[in-house]
Amino acid sequence: MSSRRPTPVHQHPKDIPGPDSVSHAELNQTHEAVLEYWTAERMAEAKPRELRLPGEGPRLEQGDADTGKPESGPSD
């Protein structure tokens, strides 16, 4: 029997985000309040968050999974 620990299914990036990262948030505002907050001026000045992805992982092993290229395999 092996004493190795199993590899976790979800691996975190080496560069762990700081305390200001958000993966989920409970909203206590109404839909209307959120719409009121996001004025045209705020939307124009908004900047997207940096998206950090792990360097390796099962999703990246799928090769062309996100490229939109057709699968290579037997044709019908």
Exposure string over 6-20, b if 16+ CB within 10 A, otherwise e? eeeeeeeeeeeeeee
Residue 65: pLDDT band with limits 50, 70, 90: low
Please report, as a single letter, which amino acid is at residue 29.
Q
CA dist., res. 37 & res. 22, Å (int): 19
Provide the pLDDT for residue 59: 61
Residue 33 pLDDT greater than 90, yes or no: yes
Provide the pLDDT for residue 72: 57
Provide the pLDDT for residue 27: 78
Window from 25-34, 37-46, 66-75 with minimum mean pLDDT? 66-75
Task: Tell if the pTM clears 0.85, that is, is over it.
Answer: no
Q: What angle do CA 14, 49, 57 make, to 5 degrees?
A: 35
Provide the pLDDT for residue 49: 81
